[in-house]
Chain A
Amino acid sequence: MLEIRDLTVRYGGILALDKISITVPKEETVILVGANGAGKSSLINAIIGMVPTAGGSMTFEGVDLAKVAPSMRAGHGIGYSPEGRRVFPTMTVRDNVLAGASRIGRAAQADVYDKLATLFPMLRDKSDDLAGYLSGGQQQMVAIARAMSASPKLLLLDEPFLGLAPVWIQQISDAIRQFSKSGVTVLMTEQMAVPALKVATRGYVMRGGAILREGPVAELRSAALAEEYL
Chain B
Amino acid sequence: MVEIVSAGLIGLSLGAQYALLALGFTLIFGIIGVVNFAHGGFYLLGGYVAYACVSMAGLPYPVAVLAAALATAALGYLFELLLLERVIDDHLSTLILTLGFSLVITTGIVLVFGPDAPLFQFPVQGVVRFLGIIVPLANIIVFAICFAAIGVAYALIYRTNFGRSLRALSEDRAVAEALGIRARLMFPLAFALATGLAGMTGALVTPILSLTPHAGEPVLAASFLVVILGGLGSLGGATLAAFLVGMIEAYAAVYLGGSKGALMLFVLVLIVLLVRPTGLYGRTARGA
Contacts and interface: CB of A to CB of B under 8 A. Distances in A.
A and B part of one assembly: yes
B179 to A, nearest CB: 4
B181 interface: yes
A90 B181 contact: no
A56 B144 CA distance: 60
A40 to B, nearest CB: 17
B181 A89 contact: no
A100 to B, nearest CB: 4
B171 A73 contact: no
B182 interface: yes
A88 B171 CA distance: 6
Given A88-B167, A88-B171, A91-B168, A99 B178 contact: no
A72 B178 CA distance: 8
A150 B180 contact: yes
A88 B180 contact: no
A122 interface: no
B164 A95 contact: yes
Interface residues of B, number: 19
B167 A71 contact: no
B182 A99 contact: no
A68 B172 CA distance: 21
Which of B164, B171, B178, B182 gathers most chain A CB within 10 Å? B178
Interface in A39-84: 48-50, 69-75, 80, 82
Interface in A69-126: 69-75, 80, 82, 86, 88-91, 95, 98-100, 102-103
B176 interface: yes
A50 B178 CA distance: 8
Given A49-B178, A70-B178, A73-B178, A90 B183 contact: no
A65 to B, nearest CB: 13
Nearest to B183: A71
Contacts of A146: 179
A72 B179 CA distance: 9
Given A74-B180, A91-B164, 19 more contacts: A48-B178, A71-B177, A71-B178, A71-B180, A73-B180, A75-B180, A86-B172, A86-B175, A88-B172, A88-B175, A88-B176, A90-B171, A91-B171, A95-B168, A100-B180, A102-B161, A102-B165, A103-B180, A150-B180
20 contacts: A49-B177, A49-B178, A50-B178, A70-B177, A71-B180, A80-B178, A82-B178, A86-B175, A88-B168, A88-B172, A89-B171, A90-B167, A91-B167, A91-B171, A95-B164, A98-B164, A100-B179, A100-B180, A102-B161, A103-B180
